[in-house]
C-alpha cells in the first residue's frame, strides 16, 4: 500500500498535507489513507464537514460509509474548514482508487501548528507495512 512521504498521518488513519498559506493561517488538505480505504472496502457514502465549520483533533466531523462498515472522520488539525471535495457526494468510490489525489476530503485553515502527527515511516510502522 502507498504511504507518501510528503504528508503527515494520524493514528486514526487520516493524512494531512500542507497546501500553503491563506491569510494568517496554513491550509492543510485532509483525506483518509490507503490503508484505511483498503480496510473499509468499497466506499459508498461520505459525510463531510461544511465550509466554515470549526474542527479540532479528536472530535468526529464526518463519516465514511462502506459496504463493510461506517467509520468516523476526524480532523488532524484545529481550524476552520475552507473547502470540501464536493465531487465525493456523487463519486465517493474515488477514495478507493485515489485516496491521496482526487479522493481528498477537505481543507482546513489551521489555527495552530499541527503537532503529534506521524511521519510516513512512523505510520508505516503503525500499520505494519
**22 pLDDT tier (thresholds 50, 70, 90):** low
**What's the pLDDT tens digit per position in 62-86?**
999 999 899 999 999 999 999 999 9
Entry pTM: 0.90
Longest dimension (CA), the chain: 41
Amino acid at each position: 500500500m502507498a504511504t507518501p512521504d510528503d504528508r503527515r498521518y494520524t493514528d486514526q488513519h487520516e493524512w494531512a498535507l500542507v497546501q500553503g498559506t491563506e491569510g494568517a493561517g496554513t491550509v492543510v488538505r485532509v483525506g483518509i489513507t490507503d490503508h484505511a480505504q483498503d480496510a473499509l472496502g468499497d466506499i459508498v457514502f461520505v459525510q463531510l464537514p461544511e465550509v466554515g465549520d470549526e474542527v479540532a483533533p479528536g472530535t468526529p466531523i464526518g463519516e465514511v460509509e462502506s459496504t463493510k462498515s461506517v467509520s468516523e472522520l476526524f480532523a488532524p488539525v484545529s481550524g476552520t474548514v475552507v473547502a470540501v471535495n464536493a465531487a465525493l457526494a456523487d463519486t465517493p468510490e474515488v477514495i478507493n482508487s485515489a485516496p491521496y489525489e482526487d479522493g481528498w476530503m477537505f481543507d482546513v485553515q489551521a489555527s495552530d501548528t499541527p503537532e503529534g502527527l506521524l511521519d510516513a515511516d512512523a505510520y508505516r510502522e503503525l500499520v505494519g507495512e
